Structure 1
Amino acid sequence: MNTITPKKQKAALLVVGIAIFLDMLIYGLVVPILPKYASALGASQTGIGLLFGSYAIALFIATPIFGALSDRIGRRTPMLWGLLGLAAATLLFAFAEEYWMLITARALQGLAAAITWTSGLAILADLYPSEERGKAMGLALSGQAAGILLGPSLGGWMYQLGGYKLPFLFAAVLAIADGLLRIFLLRDLPERTSGTFLSSFGLLRNRSLLLISGVVIIGSAIPSVLEPTLPLHLQEKFNAEPGFIGMLFAIPTLSYALATPWIGKLSSKIGYKKAVLIGLAVVAISLPLSALPDSMWMQAASLVLLGISMGMVLAPCLPALADISEQSGLPSYGITFAIYNTAYSFGMILGPVTGSVLTDAIGLKLSYLSVGCVALLYMLIMLPSFRRTEVTRLNSNAHDR
């Protein structure tokens, strides 16, 4: 096996960070464009909802398959498959003239994300030791937030500049450039394959992994709770225009992006479970706060806190899952991060439905308070596991001395 040098680690981190950034950039690129175009093709509001949901559905279905495959055949080849899928999806978007073509393109985008995320994160787990994974994966996740932040505004601006096709053709060019980068920088990386890896069902018997998967569901559901509910609240309470609402939504994403690398580094020092517990507590406070402010400045401040808290919940989960897989005695990082992606996509599906139903039933403030209480309750569920881990660690330290 090739020696893992710091240069190779940094090359892998760059490739994975850019891959995640590009995936989320194109994910957000379509947000201001597709509803109008799909409507022009005859799609109903329900059809438009299905169009956007097809990404998460494809991600949910494909992730376990390609996670297991990356353990079997290695990481580099699936990374290139993911890129080809993303390029094909963007070109299909550009030249779609029927609603079913849009559905196919969006689902193909979700399929490409399933391949890229599981293989990319597994590469980082392969190359970085446990004590450095938190920082590395935190840096990679900052690419996710940056892509989400830039995607919608870039898509809207390019649409106004050159029409419907321009944003997708631009994205296809970026995908090709990213492909060249992946081929060049990943060619000398050591491959880790496993002929006998843990199945997702085998890993899911691990209590710690189940608990972390629940954290991922909560962490991904929080921003998607806001998307269908907070804009209407801001319009009614502050008479906010859509452009200003878009700027406010950029605040938690930006604070998430800036905080995630530092949170990853902190979680490596204090322990992943402790970092997650703190994150859940802060989410339980910050989410209800985002429905209370009477001024825009306070609203912005509450969204900054919410973005940081989302980073504190999600960033420690990736290295924690890698450690759980490693401690199982048979590290199967592909299937481990497939579980992460599956949990994340489930949260993306669950969040908008839960937020909308609760807001209709009990109002925005109580709905956000209810979701915050779920985060708090889950923190209490995790506490016994955290205490057992601490007792084990202290006993191990005492034995070593």
Structure 2
Amino acid sequence: MKAVTALFEAIKKNAWKQTRKEVFCVHNKLLALLFAVMFLMMLGFGIIIPILPFFAEQIGAGSWEIGILFASYNIMQFLFSPLWGSLSDRIGRKPLIMAGLFGFTVTFVLFGLSDTYGEMLVYRILGGIVSAAAIPTVTAMVADVFPPEERAKGMGVIGAGVGLSFVFGPVIGGLLGDVNVSYPFFAAAGVAFLTMLFVAAMLPESLPPERRGQRGEKERLNPLVAMSGPLALLYNLLFIVSFSFAALEATFALYIGHRFGMTAKDLGYMFLVMGVIAALVQGGLIGQMVKKWGEPPVLSLGLAFYAAGFLLILVGQGFWSLSLFLSLFGAGQGMIRATATSLITRRTNQAQGVTSGAMSSMDSLGRILGPLVGGALFSWHYSAPYIAGALLVGAMLLLFLLHNRNLPEPEATKSR
């Protein structure tokens, strides 16, 4: 514990009188620790993703009710992420992560014991509230301890943890669900509880008391206000990326079934390939790409991959071609999220907890609206969600290329 605390203190105090080799070692140890926390935290979500619809269907829920289960979770994240983020700026990061993990444990167990749809909905709502406390706070912790020039790398590595959790989680959930549809939820609760113990033992606080609550009234950031502020371009970019991909997720199974007669098993393997590529890009390549080219070019490349992916899906003719085109989303998502997050956290005039909460809210808003719009477009024509996605992401790419120079200057010397 003392060794880990010393690592955080070295970063927070900007103790850069060490040799390049020592600094590299400090960063790698920090990244490994934060990667482990994010991977374990999100593994539980990956475990329940493929099983939740079947569990709900088993007690009589229809497609509309299942959609409400997913939407209610994201609505709670949208509403509560800024509130939890503001609280973390006042009391520190670690208590929020611990509270969120404890909430995961309880809500996963209760959901697994549910006998009615009403119970499921209540526990899903509570799960959305507590997840908004834990997940953005890890992002804020990265912004606390990593200097601006290292931040994209840090964001990329924790993003890789998320990507890998959605590679292994669904496999675990599928195997357990074959035995009993409740078991994945109990397994997810167990993972959350063990992660809470890991955080308690290994993760030190990244925001010392003297740096808490320094932003005063500015901390009360409404995500809708953020969308019209000086960083509106980046916040809206995150929303469009989330919105367009959520529309794809909601309709892609129907698309491959309608056109090619593929099954959920085929879909699972496709997303497995996409998740592996996303993890490789976020964990191994983004830091080098940003160091060589800078964040705006890498973000632009990610948007280009996204737009191309939407169009190429429409010309794919089989499992391997569709898997390849989906991989463009995996690579693009890694580039977009890591660099956009770094750009925002380096330029915000808000405290990092509030900023991370606002970004999470934009992501949640996209995941709320994307499936609704995507489903409506798909009912009109199977290609419509993907053409719309390509147009929206292409428009954001054009706007970013034209206006990224108008973003506020990085506040590299600001103490967080």
Which position in structure 1 is the counterpart of 2:403?
Answer: 385
Which position in structure 1 is the counterpart of 2:80?
Answer: 62
Which position in structure 1 is the counterpart of 2:192?
Answer: 175
Which position in structure 1 is the counterpart of 2:174?
Answer: 156
Percent identical among aligned pairs is 27
Which position in structure 2 is the counterpart of 1:103?
Answer: 121
1:196-237 CA deviation, whole Å, 9 max, x = no partner? 342314972774421111111122223322223222222233
Question: Would you say the 8 A contact 2:41–2:195 is kept in 1?
Answer: no
C-alpha change, 1:30 and 1:372, in structure 2 (3 Å) is same
1:251 matches 2:273: yes
State the shift of 1:323 in Å. Answer: 0.4
Question: Would you say the 8 A contact 1:12–1:124 is kept in 2?
Answer: no
The 2-side partners of 1:357 and 1:268 are apart by 42
Which position in structure 2 is the counterpart of 1:319?
Answer: 342
Q: 2:67 aligns with which of 46, 49, 65?
A: 49
C-alpha change, 1:40 and 1:74, in structure 2 (3 Å) is same
The 2-side partners of 1:352 and 1:50 are apart by 11
- SS in structure 2 at match of 1:104: helix
Q: 1:130 aligns with which of 148, 152, 168?
A: 148
Question: Would you say the 8 A contact 2:248–2:385 is kept in 1?
Answer: no
The 2-side partners of 1:76 and 1:291 are apart by 45
Alignment of 1:264-343 (within 5 A): 264-325=287-348, 328=349, 331-343=350-362
1:47-79 CA deviation, whole Å, 9 max, x = no partner? 221112221011111101101101111111111
1:18 matches 2:40: no
The 2-side partners of 1:106 and 1:50 are apart by 10
Question: Would you say the 8 A contact 1:215–1:313 is kept in 2?
Answer: no
Q: How many residues align?
A: 386
The 2-side partners of 1:10 and 1:278 are apart by 26
- Displaced runs of 4+ in structure 1, greater than 4 A? 5-12, 205-208
C-alpha change, 1:354 and 1:374, in structure 2 (3 Å) is same
C-alpha change, 1:10 and 1:72, in structure 2 (3 Å) is farther
Alignment of 1:365-380 (within 5 A): 365-380=383-398
The 1-side partners of 2:173 and 2:83 are apart by 31
State the shift of 1:11 in Å. Answer: 5.6
1:20-55 CA deviation, whole Å, 9 max, x = no partner? 323432223223323233233333332221112221
Question: Would you say the 8 A contact 1:274–1:386 is kept in 2?
Answer: no
More divergent stretch after superposition (287-296 vs 263-272): 263-272
The 2-side partners of 1:337 and 1:141 are apart by 14
Question: Would you say the 8 A contact 1:16–1:121 is kept in 2?
Answer: no
State the shift of 1:275 in Å. Answer: 2.1
C-alpha change, 1:15 and 1:107, in structure 2 (3 Å) is farther
Which position in structure 1 is the counterpart of 2:16?
Answer: none
Alignment of 1:105-254 (within 5 A): 105-161=123-179, 163-187=180-204, 189=206, 191=208, 192-197=211-216, 198=218, 199-201=220-222, 204=226, 207-254=229-276
State the shift of 1:156 in Å. Answer: 1.6
State the shift of 1:12 in Å. Answer: 5.0
More divergent stretch after superposition (295-304 vs 28-37): 28-37
Which position in structure 2 is the counterpart of 1:396?
Answer: none
State the shift of 1:301 in Å. Answer: 1.6
Q: Amino acid of the residue matched to residue 4 of structure 1? A: A
Question: Would you say the 8 A contact 1:280–1:313 is kept in 2?
Answer: yes
- SS in structure 2 at match of 1:228: helix
Question: Would you say the 8 A contact 1:93–1:102 is kept in 2?
Answer: yes
Which position in structure 1 is the counterpart of 2:366?
Answer: 347
Q: Amino acid of the residue matched to residue 196 of structure 2? A: G
C-alpha change, 1:387 and 1:34, in structure 2 (3 Å) is closer
State the shift of 1:377 in Å. Answer: 1.2
State the shift of 1:297 in Å. Answer: 2.5
The 1-side partners of 2:201 and 2:27 are apart by 14
Which position in structure 2 is the counterpart of 1:398?
Answer: none
Question: Would you say the 8 A contact 2:43–2:191 is kept in 1?
Answer: no
The 2-side partners of 1:87 and 1:81 are apart by 10
Question: Would you say the 8 A contact 1:138–1:265 is kept in 2?
Answer: no
More divergent stretch after superposition (199-208 vs 180-189): 199-208
Which position in structure 2 is the counterpart of 1:399?
Answer: none
State the shift of 1:94 in Å. Answer: 2.3
Q: Give the alignment's TM-score, normalised by structure 2.
A: 0.85
State the shift of 1:97 in Å. Answer: 2.1
State the shift of 1:169 in Å. Answer: 2.3
The 2-side partners of 1:86 and 1:366 are apart by 36
The 2-side partners of 1:190 and 1:141 are apart by 21
C-alpha change, 1:195 and 1:370, in structure 2 (3 Å) is same
C-alpha change, 1:265 and 1:350, in structure 2 (3 Å) is farther
1:319-339 CA deviation, whole Å, 9 max, x = no partner? 1111012xx3xx500000111
The 1-side partners of 2:394 and 2:227 are apart by 24
Q: Amino acid of the residue matched to residue 197 of structure 2? A: L
Alignment RMSD = 2.6
State the shift of 1:268 in Å. Answer: 4.7
C-alpha change, 1:189 and 1:276, in structure 2 (3 Å) is closer
The 2-side partners of 1:171 and 1:140 are apart by 19
Q: Amino acid of the residue matched to residue 46 of structure 1? A: W
The 2-side partners of 1:345 and 1:189 are apart by 25
Q: Give the alignment's TM-score, normalised by structure 1.
A: 0.88
